[in-house]
Amino acid sequence: MELDENVCLCKKVPLRKVVSHLTHHRPKVASQLSECFGAGTGCGWCVPTLESLHRKFVSGEPLLCDSPAEAYAQAREEYKVKKRADAAAAAQAPSPLPPRIDSETESQ
């Protein structure tokens, strides 16, 4: 992925901005990258990539994203389709029954 290609596709945050945020703000934990134009706060697809970039930054490795942008975007689309299907299945699943309360147990 090139520096001007988006890491966070929901919020349209390019790799260049994430790298700049890392070098200038030096976040202590990866979740602080959300302060970089909301990166990682949309669908969640980019969170593992942001965590990887943060790990690389902390360890002094080059801040590169190995995935080609087109493959990254395609994998995100597949992720979103699966996420929607999982949400639909969860919405259709019956709710678990509440625990049974016996009158003997209740009076004790």
Write out pLDDT tens, residues 62-80. 988 888 989 999 999 999 9
Residue 17 lies inside a defined structural domain of this protein = yes
pLDDT value of position 108 = 54
Residue 108 lies inside a defined structural domain of this protein = no
Supply φ then ψ for residue 13, to 5 degrees.
Answer: -105, 115
Residue 12's domain is classified under what CATH number? Answer: 1.10.10
pLDDT value of position 98 = 77
With cut-offs at 50, 70 and 90, classify the pLDDT of residue 99: confident
Residue 39 lies inside a defined structural domain of this protein = yes
Residues 6+ apart with CB under 8 A from 97: none
Residue 74 lies inside a defined structural domain of this protein = no
Residue in 80, 83, 12, 13 with CA at minimum distance from that of residue 53:
13
Domain extent for 33: 1-62
Please tell me the total count of domains within the chain.
1
Distances in Å between the Cα of 26 and the Cα atoms of 7, 14, 20, 22, 39 are 18, 17, 9, 5, 15
Map tokens 């596709």 to a residue.
9
With cut-offs at 50, 70 and 90, classify the pLDDT of residue 106: low
Residue 36 lies inside a defined structural domain of this protein = yes
